[in-house]
Amino acid sequence: MVRLLVRLVVFLGATALGLIIAGVLVDGLSVGWRGFVIAVVIIAVLQSVLAAWFTKIARAKAPVLTGAAGLLSTFVGLLVATLLVEDLRVDGVSAWFLATVVTWLGT
């Protein structure tokens, strides 16, 4: 149980760090502090659930795409978070791409 809680705290921290770095480096990404915590939780939860699911599908259907599961789950997490959190905005295709990559690298 303690191990699970430590992993959860580390993953949430890594997601928060990735989103902060993306907020600083990516021009089209804006993150307000009010919705930051909610956005981090949404992204982290979706990323952890979807990465496993995407990896399972990729292994069965297209093993070459297994490495893309993390990027895809990060993108979906950002997309859902932007739809649910008013303080998180991503404007432009390049901002979406860079925000996804930077946030994924942070995690």
d(CA 62, CA 21): 32
What's phi and psi for 80, nearest 5 deg? -65, -40
Average pLDDT, the chain: 88
Burial of 40 (0-12, 13-18, 19+ CB in 10 A): buried
d(CA 49, CA 92): 26
Residue-level pLDDT at 85: 93
What is the C-alpha radius of gyration for the chain, rounded to an integer number of angstroms?
14
How confident is the model over 72-93, as pLDDT tens digits? 889 999 999 999 999 899 999 9
How confident is the model over 42-69, as pLDDT tens digits? 999 888 888 778 778 877 887 777 777 7
More confident site: 3 or 26: 26
